[in-house]
Amino acid sequence: MMLIKLDGKWKTKVVNIVHENPHSCKTPIYAEGLHAHRKVRGRRYGTAPWRRTVERTASTPVNHSRCLRGHYELIRSNMHPGDDDDDIQEHARAESLTANRMSLRLKQETGRKFQPGELCVVCGDSASGIHYSVAACNGCKTFFRRVVLEACFCFSIRFHILHYSMYKLQNHTYSCKNNGDCIIDKNMRCSCRHCRFKKCLRVGMDKGELNIERRRKRKARGNMANGDDIMEVEITDPLIELLIDKENKYQVLLTSDLMPIHTTLREALTSGEKAFDEIDKYAAHPMPAGKHTNFSYWRAKILSVLVEWAKSFEVFSLLSLEDQMRLIVHTSFSNLVLAEAFNTPEKYTDRIVFPDGLSGFRNLSANILKERSGLIPTVVAVINNILVPIRRMKMTKIEYLLLQAIIFYDPECLSLSVNAHQLISAKRRRLLDSLRRHLDFKLKDPSESAARFAENLLRIGNVQKVAAFKRETLCTIETFNLMQPHPFTMEISKKYPDFSWLY
């Protein structure tokens, strides 16, 4: 592979270098004509680095001193009009055009903003963001990526002067059992892969975006990014996809002005309404800017959304009402303090920040509002025992979602019935298995994966310790009439001894 200067322009040419003696600087060097290259393509290398044994149709001497400086010139008399457009040059030109198009798409996508509550244009489920140029859910995003890249392979050809890599994408072939017009919606999207992929293309999913994503992943490979790692790994576990979808809906409800704070736990579980099934209604009414809130409001709001989150699980719906109440009372405060810590913006390690900007600081002098003073110790406990450790270990979004579900499905609640204990134990084993397999896939090294798995589970002890401290503090505050916590928060706090301890 050489660079050839022709008519004042540098061209990429495949040439065959002939050295009769590698140690002699006076030995002539020949550049094979392009027709010869095409004739013997695939076997142009000889048995030694300096001896190229190929059949030649025409050879043109090239000035040796100019070759040493990298300036290769061919006499125009031996060149033909069509010789400029060889295969390598065509690939290079196509690669350049593709890179330009991808750069333009990336700039366009950067300016687009995802609106919470948008629907997936493929199946109609709640979209999690802009994926491959369209609003799509994580399920359709992963399906499209998997189909396009399932048969992807890469090969590299290395030369002394030029390194050229080519990626070939092959689409997996699926067939439709019907006539190719299956309905693709939220409930039937997995029934026909052929029609689902066809609809992905029809609504505008762009295969070119895959290359941008691959470059992003290669750039970030080897680093455990803090916070949101959902775009850094390929999600293949349906359980993780489900948790991501629930988290998106959770955030919509948390910031919706329509989402009510429940009055009692029994009312919340028996109302028959599931907010996660009507997410569009809540997404259309975000909280207005400047709304007055306090710690009491956000604790009750988070607990109310956690109840709706629990109701969206199929396993939870199989439990009796009493077991549902026991499980929520037993685990809700643990998930409350974990959510307070993880959802605080990454740049803060000295405060807890709620969605509207309300903050609780570790520095006591920063807490100037009288109504907050009674809970300063609990804020400090959340920061020191949960926020700082998960920032230090750089807990990822997927790890957080799995840990949240693992904490919720806790079979150690002593008041659970035998049937509930079996269902919850099985669900927790499935979640633990998903966490371990996710870490194995992401870290590759079994020892690193095992250490990371243990590091995540060790967070549970601190979370439960801080949750217990917050329950005790709330009860003390109410007893001495120092503050008026929300009744829903106090109900869950007071019922904990009855449901989690057996006398």
Cα separation, 43 vs 47, in Å, equals 10
pTM of the model: 0.58
Considering the chain, what percentage of its residues have pLDDT values greater than 70?
Answer: 64
Using one digit for the tens of pLDDT, what is the confidence trace for 334-343?
999 999 999 9
Q: Residue 198 class from Cβ within 10 Å (0-12 exposed, 13-18 middle, 19+ buried)?
A: middle
Distant-in-sequence, close-in-space partners of 321: CB < 8 Å, separation ≥ 6: 266, 269, 270
DSSP-assigned states of every residue in 214-249: HHHHHHHTT---SB--TTTS----HHHHHHHHHHHH
Residue ranges of the chain that CATH labels 3.30.50.10:
88-220
Using one digit for the tens of pLDDT, what is the confidence trace for 264-313?
999 999 988 889 999 999 999 998 887 888 889 999 999 999 999 999 99
Q: What amino acid occupies position 375?
A: L
Residue 354 has pLDDT above 80, yes or no: yes
Cα separation, 488 vs 264, in Å, equals 6
Q: How far apart are the first and last CA of the chain?
A: 83
CATH ID of 238-408+466-500, from 3.30.70, 3.30.590, 1.10.565, 2.40.128: 1.10.565
Q: Determine the topology of domain 88-220 in CATH.
A: Erythroid Transcription Factor GATA-1; Chain A (3.30.50)
Question: What is the torsional sign of CA 216, 219, 221, 224?
Answer: negative
Task: Give me the half-sphere count of Cα atoms (radius 13 Å) on the Cβ side of residue 453.
Answer: 20
Using one digit for the tens of pLDDT, what is the confidence trace for 425-434?
999 999 999 9
Considering the chain, what percentage of its residues have pLDDT values greater than 90?
Answer: 38
Distance of CA 435 to CAs 197, 230, 241, 429, 451, Å? 29, 14, 13, 10, 12
Residue ranges of the chain that CATH labels 1.10.565:
238-408+466-500
| Mean pLDDT of the region 385-396 | 95
Cα 290 to the center of its chain, rounded Å: 32
Q: Which residue has the tokens 């025992």?
A: 385
Cα separation, 467 vs 60, in Å, equals 83
